[in-house]
Amino acid sequence: MPEEEKAPTIMSSMRPDGSRVVIRTADVKGRYVFWRRVIFALLIGCYVAGPLVNINGNPAVFLDVAQRRFFLFGNTFNAQDFWIVLLFGLTFIFTILLITAWRGRLWCGWVCPQTVFLEALFRPIERLVDGSREKAQKAALQPWGMGKVLRFILKHALYLLMAAFVAHASVALFVSVPAYITMVQEGPLAHLTPFIWTAVLTVLFFFNFAWFREQFCVVLCPYGRMQSVLHDQDSVVISYDSKRGEPRGKLVKAKPGEEAPQRGDCVDCKRCIYVCPTAMDIRGGLQMECLACAQCIDACDEVMKKLNKPQGLIRYASQQELSTGKRRFLRPRIFIYAVAILIAFGALSFSLAKRQSFEVLMFRPSGFSPWILEGSKIYNQYELHLVNKQSTAATYRIEARFLEGAEVIIGLPKVEAGYLAEVEPFSSASIPLRIGVERERLKEMLYGSEGEGERKDAILPAVRARIQNLQTQELKERSARFLSPGKSALQPKERD
Ligand code: SF4
Ligand code: SF4
C-alpha cells in the first residue's frame, strides 16, 4: 500500500508514531500549473539577473552588507536609510496580510522561495531520475541493488549541484558578480568568509530541498501557522465543493434492473492527494498544511474532463460562497489592511521623494568644555559629521555664521570664506567648527552695557552652519546654541 495511504492522523506527512511519510507527488498539467511555471521562471530569472545586470554602473541588486551600502535598481542606499527599509517592510507585511485575507496563501503557492526553488529546480530532478510517482513508489519498496544505488547517487549529486547554484546566486547578491568571480579565481583561502557562507548555504539548501521539503512549510514556517487568524469565512481559498462532490464513491455501473447508487461528482480517485506537495486531502476542508499551490484544482479538473462533468469541483472559493453562493470582498479586516498599506506606502513614497544624497549632524565633541577661554575671546567648539550616501565622491561647501564680526574657523587650517570638504563615496567626514566672540561683547549682550543686569541668554542667536552639495546643489542647514561662561569669566583680566 502506498505510504501516503497508511492512515496519517495529525498531519498527512506524518504517521501516528511521529515518523515521516515520504511524499512523492504525481505530475499534473493544467492552467494553474502552467501559470505557476511561468511565474517561477520569471522569479528565478530576476534572482539570477539581479546581481548580473548593471544599472547606472552598479549591479541592479547588490546588498553590500560589509560596507553598509545597498544598490537597488539604480538607487543607492546606506545604513542611514534603514527607516526606508522599515517602511518597505511594513508595506510588504500589510500587503501580504491583505492578500491572505482576500485570496488565502497566494504567497506560499506562487512566489515563496521555498516553493519556487523546490517545484522549479529540485522536483524536476526527482521526476527525471525516479520517473513517475508510481514508478518511484515501486522502486522505494524494492531492496537496494546496483540500479537503485546509482539512481540515488545521481539524484543527490544533481541536488547538490542545484543547491550550489542557488547558494552561489544568493552570495552573489551580497558580494556582486565581478567581485565573486575574482574571489573564485583567487581561491577560498584568500576569501574565507564568502567561501564559508557559500559552503554553509549549499549544505542548508541541499538539506532543505533534498530532504526537509514540505516540513519547512508545515512545521517551521510561522506564516503557515497564522492562517487561522488571517483567514475568515470570506477568504477565497482552495476549496472542495462538498455539496457537489459528496457522497463520494467509485464509478459503478448499475446492474440491469437496479438503480445506480446516488453519488456525488467525486469519484474518490485521490488524484488531488497524489499531486499535493503536502499529501493533504483537501476534501477534509481547509487545513494548515494547504500551501494553496492549486495543483489539486488542475488534477481534479483533469478527472472531471475525462468524466464529462463540469470542472471546478475543487476551485478557488470562500466558505461563505460554497454555502450561500455569495462572495464578499469588502469587510472590516480588508479595509483596515488597505488603510495600513496606504499609510505605510504613502510614508515610503514621501521618504523616497525627500531622500537626499547626504546627511549631516552638528554637535559638540564629547570630552571638550562647552566654552574655551583664549586671549580676549570665548570659543565654542562644534563638529559637523558629513555622510556621503552617493556611490560617487562629492564636494560640499560649508559656511557658518553667528554674530556679526564673530570669528569663524571651519576645518583645519582656518578657512575664511566657505570650506570645501571632499567626501569619498559611501564615506563620512568630521569637520571641526569653532566660533569665537570677544568676552567684552558677550558680557554686554548678556548682562547689559553696565554688566549689572539679569543674564539674557535668549538674546544670543544660534550658530548656523550651511552645507551644500556642489554636484547636486542640495542644501542643508544645521544650528546649535552658543554657550557662555558666567559673568566672572567674562571680565577682562589684567594679562588680556
Ligand atoms: S481529484 Fe476530484 S474526483 Fe478525484 S478524489 Fe479528488 S476531488 Fe474526488
Ligand atoms: S491541498 Fe491542493 S492547494 Fe493545498 S497544498 Fe495540496 S495540492 Fe496544493
pLDDT in tens, 94-133: 999 999 999 999 999 999 999 999 999 999 999 999 999 9
Average pLDDT over the chain, rounded to whole?
Answer: 90
CB-based contacts of 480: which residues, under 8 Å, 6+ apart?
Answer: 362, 363, 364, 382, 462, 463
C-alpha 19 – ligand 2 centre gap (Å): 22
Q: Which of 36, 290, 302, 314 best tests ligand 2's pocket when mutated (most atoms within 8 Å of CB)?
A: 290
Angle (CA) 114-119-122 rounded to 5° is 90
State whether 207 and 255 are in the same domain.
no
Q: Which of 300, 301, 311 best tests ligand 1's pocket when mutated (most atoms within 8 Å of CB)?
A: 300
- Check which CATH number belongs to the domain holding 480 and give it: 2.60.40.10
- Confidence (pLDDT) at 493: 60
Confirm whether 379 is domain-assigned.
yes
Confirm whether 115 is domain-assigned.
yes
Q: Is 280 in the pocket of ligand 1 (CB under 6 A)?
A: no
Confirm whether 413 is domain-assigned.
yes
Percent of the chain with pLDDT over 70: 95
Q: Is 271 in the pocket of ligand 1 (CB under 6 A)?
A: yes
Entry field: residues in the chain: 496
For the chain, the helix, strand and coil percentages under 3-state DSSP, each to the nearest 5: 45, 20, 35
State whether 14 and 133 are in the same domain.
yes
Three-class DSSP labels, 376-408: CEEEEEEEEEEEECCCCCEEEEEEEECCCCCEE
**What pTM was estimated for this model as a whole?**
0.81
Atom of ligand 1 nearest to the CA of 248: 8
State whether 454 and 365 are in the same domain.
yes
Cell, residue 265? 461528482
State whether 185 and 287 are in the same domain.
no
**Residue whose CA is closest, atom 4 of ligand 1?**
269
Residue 417 pLDDT greater than 70, yes or no: no
Distance, CA of 223 to CA of 114 (rounded, Å): 13
Distance, CA of 431 to CA of 428 (rounded, Å): 10
**Residue-range definition of the domain harbouring residue 424:** 358-490
pLDDT-derived band at 4 (thresholds 50, 70, 90) equals very low
Q: Which of 30-34, 57-61, 138-142, 198-202 has the lowest mean pLDDT?
A: 57-61
Most confident segment among 82-86, 90-94, 257-261, 410-414: 90-94
HSE, CB side, 13 Å, CA atoms: give it for residue 52: 9
Distance, CA of 379 to CA of 488 (rounded, Å): 16
* Domain tally, the chain: 3
The type of residue at 334 is: I
State whether 226 and 282 are in the same domain.
no
